[in-house]
Amino acid sequence: MEWNLCERDQFGNSYYEIETMSGSRPDITLPDKAEALLGQIYFKHKLPPINPDTRLRLSSIPEELALETLRKVYNSKVKYTLDGYINFLLSNSTGFGSPLPSPGGSPAKTPNSSGKIGCRAFQAEIAHDSETRHLKNSRREDDGASLFSSQQLALGELEFKKAFLMLNYIADKRLEEVITADEIRRMKDLPMVEYESGIWNRLGLHFCRREDRRMLLEWDCGKPHYYQCYVASDGTCRFKGPFLENTTTHLHKVLGDENVLMVKFEDVACRRDLPINSSDSYSTYKHIATNGIMIGLRRYQFFVFKDGGKEEKKKDPSTKGVKCYFVCTDSRAFNDRGKDYNFSRKSVHEVRMHFMHVHNLQTLANYMARFSLILSKTKKLEVDLTDINFDRIDDINCHVFLYTDQDGNVVFDKNGKPFIHSDGTGYISEDLARKCPMNIYKGQCTRGKHVQGNVSEFEAQEGCSQEPPLLIQFRLFYNGCAVKGTFLMNKKLPPRTIQVRPSMIKVDTDPHLSNFSSINSLEVVSTSNPPKRTKLSRNLIALLSYGEVPNDFFLDILLNTLEESKTIFYDTRAALKVALNYADMDDYNAVDMITAGIPLEEPFLKHHLSILLKTERKDLKAGKLPVAESYYLMGTVDPTGMLEKDEVCVILETGQISGDVLVYRNPGLHFGDIHILKATYVKSLEDFVGNSKYGVFFPQKGPRSLGDEIAGGDFDGDMYFVSRNPELLKYFKASKPWVSLSSTSKSISGRRPSDLSSQELEDELFNMFLATRFRSFNVIGMAADSWLAIMDRLLILGDDRAGEKVEMKKTMHQLIDIYYDALDAPKKGAKVDLPNELRADMFPHYMERDPEKSFRSTSVLGLIYDFVKSHKTEEISPSEIKKLPCFEAEQVPESLTERLKNWYENYRAEMSRALDLKIASDRNGAADEIIRRYKQEFYGSAGFEDWEKHREELYPRAIAIYNLVYDHAIRTQRVANCGFAWKVAGPVLSRFYSERTPGKTVLCSVAVLRDILGNRRI
């Protein structure tokens, strides 16, 4: 980028022009009325079109002001250049480029009562310098208007996170209204801690909500930073961040955190019967997508979106689980001058092709579904892909053998594609597999959890010689192709080798782009990890009950679990068992506290145990019953070819197991989605995988993949329920597998991506985002709910209602096909509808719907719900809130306490706002997100995974937080207020307590602890 002071125009105006980051400016589109008026001006005055800088300025001001200015131009005589005259009029317009009030000269305004706070127009207005003089008719005038205000130019000299933080803290104000350029420049070289404090006191305190303050304990911790923009329905924007994250995406790694902006669009009122492309309700959002979002002097444009489904919707209900990202396409900021941007002089579509040759795909739906692979949370495998043998091997087709002495015939599905046994799984050589860390889950290294001390020095050294992961779920970007699936570790492969199959290649390389640079990377999503405590689900219980598993089996589990939980407030063993069972809720905090020797009477621990007890009752009521000798394992295909069509190989902690097993995959609905298979020992498999553990291998024999028979599963990371529970095997009677009865899937018609112009492509993709975000119809959820309602009635009906049962099963089979088709619809670009006649109109009472649409169920699920609801929970009297002596006596620096006091107050303000949300899912999701972020900030550069190495540095911080939090809890007499200290710094506090308590501490893994407590069988 270059910074040039251009020659003055005919009006004598001097202005700054900065070459864009990409070397070329994107086209700026104005509102339709403005474009029409410009056309009339060109015709009337016989002048050439205005330049991009003038368009930029017109697009960045309120539409009415732009139209008023253009009307003046139309009705005037333009003596010199059209650009100069428009800029002159804008410079002298009231409220735009007018002299600014002095800082502090007027009382600060608080955010409006509606809660909408954002920048004017659709981001930060690009205002004229407040010192602009009136236009003179002589070219010799030296002073004139700058295209950008002095404040905007000064902001462009700041480090990006400082500039973004300032925009966060001014809320809906313009820089020109609240601060001078000199003030901005005076603060630019301050360390981040001092800078944050300074601009909070100068700006944030007056214009920003306290919960939006970003007071990180460590600004330069090396963790990913995420930046967010909230767009209101009127087009105003509100910037929030930066936020720290543990994990990151391929997109962020390639472009850099500051070049990626997560954008959240407010709900809009509109008619659902109108198509997106014809509805005026979204015109403001489309205008933003076309012109981009300005962050200071940086432009961000629409790039990619992803529907994260039910799980993401729980985390962030405000977006309905749909994430949208804009990326920086050009910058006029002084601080970006000379930076090497990887995609100079490229359109947005061309930038996408550096990630993958996504233009090759058949449909737009497929285009975005595949491109969104770059948004998976992953951990990069540090290997040189140029030094790797990248082999393509064939998929293993399913065959029907008519004669034993002839080759079998390939079996095809309803769409004419071959059935395959190896869908989604390939191989990786042992040397490369050893480079992959163990226990990766959603891109984060969880490590093997140890109580009291985590991983000892001996174990850390020993870990280097452990067997590599058995299976690696990955994303591979290589020479323009995108590969998704799992790698099975294969000791037989030569070093530095990976093998992929056609079923794994989601985007293929375009041979015409052999000279087009590509971003090559191997990204790990998850590995095959030790199975956690396994629970049943409502769907699984219903299917097992249909398969003749008696009600007593489920009710016995329920009764035993309830009885065990009664003594958790008095019995350490019982408390520890419950804490272990719900360790994922608090990341083993309660386990750490109990094993550190903290008394069960400790106020927060007692309070937390009561929450765990309530959570267990809620889970039991919903059918989440713990089941013995059952596991969730990642699936793949048998590489040896030894397994028969009704056999599987299961590898657990102790190696391969033998005997019958039940195999199922959530969220299966079909009666035949539970298979009885024979777990078989395969000696030759050890030659492939050695002693690597945790996985289930399916055969490569038979007319159809067993994985596909089980709820349409494949082997790109799907987890399968595997049970060798003797009672389940004793009673369960299997049904015939699911076979789709629906017609051939039809994709949504439309032109291929390669048939569209660059602008047409962007318009279509953004329309697709709007439809996904605002018009999505939950066919999946409605079909599943209707299925369960009918299934419940089916379980209740006696044998004398055979005819009615037959009709109900027909309806259920239709719902099942619609459900499975809807699950695959997004990646296939298909549209799936749920006919009204298939929707249930009455639901069992345990689904907790409108009482007028509910019936009293006497099925096993109804019995479970009623039994838990009637089970009395012992009321625990609140404990007196007292501090543990070892924390109260410890001294910490006052400066640290003062800094953490402000940090804690900021948390309380943020959490208070979250807890005011009306919808429970919104409230819980927001609260969990806040805790996650503050925990991230507490550990900073130490990182939660490696905190043991930094515990001496973290002790003073944790103790100061503990005392601040408990002082507040004592003042308010609310034990729940103690939670922040333990939720954020729990492991550090537990370790400190253990070290200050007399007696020897021993290391114990969670697996051993479960064995000691007898938890292995639950």
Q: What is the 3-state secondary structure (H, E, C) of 426-443?
A: EEEEHHHHCCCCCCEECC
Min mean pLDDT across 87-91, 138-142, 427-431, 964-968 is at: 138-142
The H or E element containing residue 915 is helix 894-915
Is 890 domain-assigned?
yes
Shared domain for 862 and 904, answered yes or no, is no
Beta strands in 786-918 (DSSP E): 843-844, 854-855
Residue 734 belongs to some domain of the structure: no
Average pLDDT over residues 593-610: 92
pLDDT at 102 over 80: no
**Which three-class secondary structure state does DSSP give residue 561?**
helix
**24-38, 50-64, 226-240, 349-363: which range is least confident on average?**
24-38
Confidence at residue 1013, expressed as pLDDT on a 0 to 100 scale: 72
Choose the weakest-confidence range: 258-267, 269-278, 292-301, 944-953.
Answer: 269-278
Residue 359 and residue 311 share a domain: no
CA distance 695 to 720: 9
- The residue from 848, 870, 892 where one domain ends is 870
Q: Calculate mean pLDDT across residues 838-848.
A: 94
Residues 333 and 359 in one domain: no
Query: Residue 489: which H helix or E strand, with range?
Result: strand 481-490
**Residue 757 domain-assigned?**
no
| 221: in domain | yes
The reply to whether 273 and 399 lie within a common domain is no
pLDDT at residue 23, rounded to an integer? 41
By CB neighbour count within 10 A (0-12 exposed, 13-18 middle, 19+ buried), where does 165 fall? buried
Confidence of residue 848 (pLDDT cuts 50, 70, 90): very high
Q: Convert the pLDDT of each residue in 975-992 to its tens digit.
A: 999 999 999 999 999 999
Q: How far apart are CA 577 and CA 775, in angstroms?
A: 45
Q: Is the pLDDT of residue 463 over 50?
A: no
pLDDT at 147: 65
C-alpha–C-alpha distance, residues 858 and 536, integer Å: 19
Which position has the higher pLDDT, 281 or 609? 609
Overall average pLDDT of the 515-535 stretch: 91
Query: Which domain-ending residue is among 822, 839, 870?
Result: 870
Mark whether 73 and 205 lie in a shared domain.
Answer: yes
Q: Name the most confidently modeled range: 302-306, 344-348, 897-901.
A: 302-306
Tell me: do 820 and 896 sit in the same domain: no
pLDDT at 105 > cutoff 50: no
- Name the pLDDT band for 829 (thresholds 50, 70, 90): low
| pLDDT surpassing 70 at residue 453 | no
The amino acid at 562: L
What is the length of the chain?
1018
pLDDT mean across residues, the chain: 82
Do residues 171 and 199 touch, judged by C-beta distance below 8 A? Answer: no
Q: 222 falls in which pLDDT band (50, 70, 90)?
A: confident
Backbone angles phi, psi at 678, to 5 degrees: -100, 115
Q: Which of the four pLDDT bands, split at 50, 70 and 90, describes residue 275?
A: low
Per DSSP (E only), the strands in 442-496 are: 444-445, 450-451, 471-478, 481-490
What does pTM read for this prediction?
0.82
pLDDT in tens, 870-887: 987 666 666 789 999 999
Say if residue 508 is in the same domain as residue 486: yes
Predicted local confidence at residue 634, as pLDDT: 97
Q: At what angle do helices 364-371 and 802-828 cross, to 10 degrees?
A: 80
Q: Tell me if 673 is assigned to some domain.
A: no
pLDDT tens-place string over residues 548-557: 999 999 999 9
Q: Which residue has the higher pLDDT, 266 or 449?
A: 266
Average of per-residue pLDDT across 803-818: 93
Picking from 62, 65, 87, 94, the residue whose alpha carbon sits closest to that of residue 146 is 87
DSSP state of 260: E
pLDDT score for 107: 31
DSSP strand pairing (630-637 vs 659-664): unpaired
Lowest mean pLDDT among 223-237, 392-406, 430-444, 828-842: 392-406
pLDDT above 70 coverage of the chain, percent:
82
Give the residue with greater pLDDT, 940 vs 106.
940
**Mean pLDDT over residues 402-425, rounded?**
77
Segment 735-754 mean pLDDT: 76
Whether residue 44 has pLDDT greater than 50: yes
Range of the domain at 832: 776-870
Domain boundary among 466, 492, 527: 527
Overall number of domains in the chain: 4
Higher pLDDT, 784 or 452: 784
Dist. CA 645–CA 396, nearest whole Å: 14
Going by pLDDT thresholds of 50, 70 and 90, the confidence category of residue 444 is confident
**pLDDT for residue 568 is more than 80:** yes
pLDDT reported for residue 310? 62
The pLDDT of residue 11: 27
Query: Same domain for 89 and 194?
Result: yes
Q: Is residue 938 part of a domain?
A: yes
From the centroid of its chain, how far is CA 521?
20
Predicted confidence at residue 404, as pLDDT, reads 45
Ranges 201-210, 456-465, 829-838, 877-886: which has the least confidence: 456-465
Over 50: is that where the pLDDT of 98 sits? no
For residue 3, the model assigns a pLDDT of 31
Same domain, 139 and 57: yes
Residue 678 above 60 pLDDT?
Answer: yes
Distance from C-alpha of 300 to C-alpha of 294, rounded to nearest angstrom: 6
Q: Is the pLDDT of residue 827 over 90?
A: no
Q: If you average pLDDT over residues 598-604, what whole number do you get?
A: 93
Q: What is the mean pLDDT of residues 36-57?
A: 85
Q: Tell me the average pLDDT across 229-238.
A: 91
pLDDT above 90 covers a percentage of the chain that reads 50
Q: How many Å apart are CA 805 and CA 20, to the nearest integer?
A: 68
| pLDDT tens digits, one per residue of 114-140 | 333 233 222 322 222 222 222 222 222
- Which of the listed ranges 230-239, 344-353, 483-492 does the model predict with the highest average pLDDT? 483-492
Same-domain check for residues 294 and 375: no
pLDDT at residue 106 is higher than 50: no
Residue type, 544: L
Same domain? For 136 and 220 the reply is yes
Judge if 67 and 160 occupy the same domain: yes
